[in-house]
Amino acid sequence: MRRFWLALLFIFLGAFSVRAEVDDLKAQPKTTAPVGMTQEQFDTLVKSVTDAVTKAIQEQTTPTAETHHAAFSPNEHNSLGRALASIVERAPAVVAGIPGMVFALERMPARLDRSAQGGLNFVEFMLALIAALLITALLEWLVRKVSARKRHELAVRIPDKHGLRALLGLTLIEALRLAAVIGVTHVIIAVWFSNGSFQSTVMGAALDAWIRWRIFAVLTEIIFRPKLASARLAPVDDAAATKIAYWIVLTSAIVSGTKFYASLFAAPAVLAAALMVTTAIVTATYIGFLYQLYTPLSQWFSGLVNTERGSAPFNRILARHWFALAIPLLLFSALMRLFGAVTANAGIATASAITVNVVIAFIFFETVMVFIARRPLDEQSLASQMRPFILRAIQVFAIIAAIFAIANIWAVSGLSLLKADEWNNIIDSWSTVAFILIGSFFAWEIVSFVSSRYSTHNVADSSQEDSLAASTGATRLQTLMPPFRVAMAVGIIVTSLLMVLSSLGINTTPLIAGASVIGLAISFGSQTLVKDIVSGIFFLADDAFRVGEYIDCKSVKGTVEGFTLRSLKLRHQNGQIHTIPFGQLGQITNFSRDWSTVKFNLRFARDIDVDTLRKATKKLGQELVEDPELKDQFIAPLKLQGVADIEDNAIIMRFKFTVKPVNPTFIQRLAIKRMLLEFPALGLKFASAPNLVLQAPQLPEPLQVSSAIDSTQAGTEPQEHASTASKIA
């Protein structure tokens, strides 16, 4: 705000200085008429001579019809030579127009003085201009002041999950400020300066420059929010946001001022000289802007790249090479503006300026898109789930619009490759193709959105045996989604291709007939392939298995990881992948459907109390059912089924429970662990391993005597040998 009042002060000082010069000129004594001529006749003669001299100067600097006809046109033959020749021919006139800028500025007070026609004089016009700017600034300040409370309420709500609505409301309030400024300026021009005079032109140009500056200032505040980090769209810190906002506002003020300055001149040579001067000023301003903000801008552009989910190619290129791309773009734009000024081709200058503006606008647009994409998603809300799809659709429209705008301005106005009617004919002839391709893209986006909601990425791995998340089977829709996605992709590509060819006038009937014949030939030559595909269709139609389920297909067992049109992929519990064609599956046993009953045996001591064991098992089963992590898995609790077998030193008891087929072995291991820890304390002892007694074989009498003699000779008593054998036994 302080810079704004300084600018107004400079305007006042300039107005007063010009007014002082005009008063000095009026204060000079008038030249007296010569003898024999009245003073009125003499003034009329002086005015006629002055007008004639002014007209002669303008005719010298205005190109004739032949010159206009010979002006540079890029679509002519030998365009490079024509361009160089046009530059050489017109450069002296443009250089000679620089003194004309000074002359035009000296005559500006007189041109803006309409007191003789009953209008405003120069000072009154300058005061009216300053008053118009003050009125618009005051109105913008009042809107900001009145909406301060509402803006604070919205700013507090931005971090919430519905913060996008609050941010949209805050943006609408800022837009209301712009609407107020634009509306007041148009009212001022329509009421007081709509007579087509030079004063009206200058007033319109000044207010247009003012509006352009305010638009950039408000957009900068919306994007960077130096004093409100929660509503900041650009991924930068407070210091970077403040610095970038300051320099953007300053740069836009300089650019708007130079555009207003160039609009004050009408003579072509003077206008060309003014464009050269303003182009140099604008280019130097832009380069200084980039130099001063290298670090903050690098932080901004790097923040547009999402390393986790991936980013658009434009964002990655911008983050890595933005400075190397910005300087050539600015220099190219400056050269094109200079070339347009020298060759009197305003279309090239306009095209280069629009190209730069489109690039800047697209960067702002990508900043908004990245901010919205990084907002937390509400998994239960359909609108939040559709957000990526909607953002991609908007980005596609923005890219198409940017490409169309740049191509249009360069093809028609910049390089004059096409006339306006020729460009319209091209657009009309290719519009059907464009709509078909865009429709195909959005059809694929819809398929991707629907299929991503039922994707199998969250299906747990069956190798996680110590977790309830292991072997979580997918739904039938999740299982059918991959082949549906492939089929829809093929259908969209084939349909869009046929529609494009048909819209271009190509008869597609022979293509369809030829494709049918080729398909028939392939089906006869690849009967095994057809068998696999048809078998897979029927397996899926029968819902025989789903992704994540554990199946047995005779030859191999494993968890279904995925499938293609002709084969199935099974992951064995040891990690191997088995790929089996559908035609070779045969009988399938599914271990993961609906429910699973687990039966297992444990060995107890022969003297165990069966009733006590039954009650302890029932209590343990109830505790497992009431466990928060396991209660959703049980269908029937753990219970003792009865005696399964009786052995010499043990009684074998059978237990069973019924659970969901998520990971029944995990629950079985947990139940056995609890039994081993709790049952011995209740007097329920598990059976010990059987004792093996090793007995020495009975030898015949002679062998026993000889053995005794041998042992005696060896100094060893037979009793010691027997005792050793008994110890071993």
Reported as a single tens digit per residue, the pLDDT across 383-433 is: 666 777 788 778 888 888 888 888 888 888 777 777 778 777 777 777 778
In angstroms, the CA 355 to CA 358 distance is: 5
> Lowest mean pLDDT: which of 55-59, 346-350, 651-655?
55-59
Give the pLDDT confidence score for residue 655 in this predicted structure: 93
Confidence of residue 11 (pLDDT cuts 50, 70, 90): very low
Residues in Cβ contact with 376 at an 8 Å cutoff, skipping those fewer than 6 apart: 161
Q: Which amino acid is at 259?
A: K
pLDDT tens figures, 306-340: 654 445 566 677 777 788 888 888 888 888 888 87
Instruction: Indicate if the pLDDT at residue 366 is higher than 70.
Output: yes
Kindly give the interhelix angle for 313-342 and 268-292, rounded to the nearest 10 degrees: 150
Q: Is the pTM of this model over 0.75?
A: no
Instruction: Indicate if the pLDDT at residue 77 is higher than 70.
Output: no
Give the pLDDT confidence score for residue 485 in this predicted structure: 81
Residues in Cβ contact with 181 at an 8 Å cutoff, skipping those fewer than 6 apart: 136, 139, 140, 210, 211, 214
User: For residues 459 and 472, is the Cβ–Cβ distance under 8 A?
Assistant: yes
Instruction: Indicate if the pLDDT at residue 460 is higher than 90.
Output: no
C-alpha R_g of the chain: 45
Strand partners, 652: 603, 645
- Nearest-10 Cα torsion for 722, 723, 724, 725: 50
Helix (H) or strand (E) holding 252: helix 238-262
Place of tokens 């620089």: 98
Place of tokens 């089924």: 641
As a whole number, mean pLDDT of residues 34-42 equals 54
Percent of the chain with pLDDT over 70: 74
- Nearest-10 Cα torsion for 9, 14, 16, 18: -170
In angstroms, the CA 98 to CA 660 distance is: 89
Residues in Cβ contact with 169 at an 8 Å cutoff, skipping those fewer than 6 apart: 150, 154
As a whole number, mean pLDDT of residues 252-281 equals 82
Strands 577-581, 596-604: parallel, antiparallel or unpaired by DSSP? unpaired
Instruction: Indicate if the pLDDT at residue 20 is higher than 60.
Output: no
Which segment, 39-53, 103-117, 588-602, is predicted with the most confidence on average? 588-602
As a whole number, mean pLDDT of residues 584-611 equals 85
Give the pLDDT confidence score for residue 693 in this predicted structure: 56
In angstroms, the CA 70 to CA 363 distance is: 40
What CA–CA distances, in Å, run from 49 to 44, 103, 289, 646? 9, 17, 49, 137
Tell me how far apart the terminal alpha carbons of the chain are, to the nearest angstrom.
Answer: 105
What CA–CA distances, in Å, run from 467 to 135, 596, 636, 662, 665? 71, 17, 20, 9, 10
In angstroms, the CA 637 to CA 619 distance is: 10
Confidence of residue 709 (pLDDT cuts 50, 70, 90): very low
Residues in Cβ contact with 148 at an 8 Å cutoff, skipping those fewer than 6 apart: none
In angstroms, the CA 459 to CA 576 distance is: 18
Instruction: Indicate if the pLDDT at residue 158 is higher than 90.
Output: no
Name the token pair of 129.
């201009």
More confident residue, 689 or 321: 321
> Lowest mean pLDDT: which of 360-364, 461-465, 550-554, 612-616?
461-465
b/e map 146-156, b = 16+ CB within 10 Å: ebeeebeebbe
In angstroms, the CA 206 to CA 201 distance is: 9
Give the pLDDT confidence score for residue 654 in this predicted structure: 92
Helix (H) or strand (E) holding 287: helix 268-292
As a whole number, mean pLDDT of residues 480-503 equals 83
User: For residues 246 and 174, is the Cβ–Cβ distance under 8 A?
Assistant: no
Q: Which amino acid is at 397?
A: F
In angstroms, the CA 99 to CA 105 distance is: 10
Instruction: Indicate if the pLDDT at residue 359 is higher than 70.
Output: yes
Which segment, 132-136, 450-454, 465-469, 558-562, is predicted with the most confidence on average? 132-136
Q: Which amino acid is at 260?
A: F
Supply φ then ψ for residue 337, to 5 degrees: -65, -40
Place of tokens 């007939």: 513
Closest CA to 490 of 480, 498, 500: 498
In angstroms, the CA 243 to CA 220 distance is: 11
Instruction: Indicate if the pLDDT at residue 710 is higher than 60.
Output: no
Confidence of residue 718 (pLDDT cuts 50, 70, 90): very low
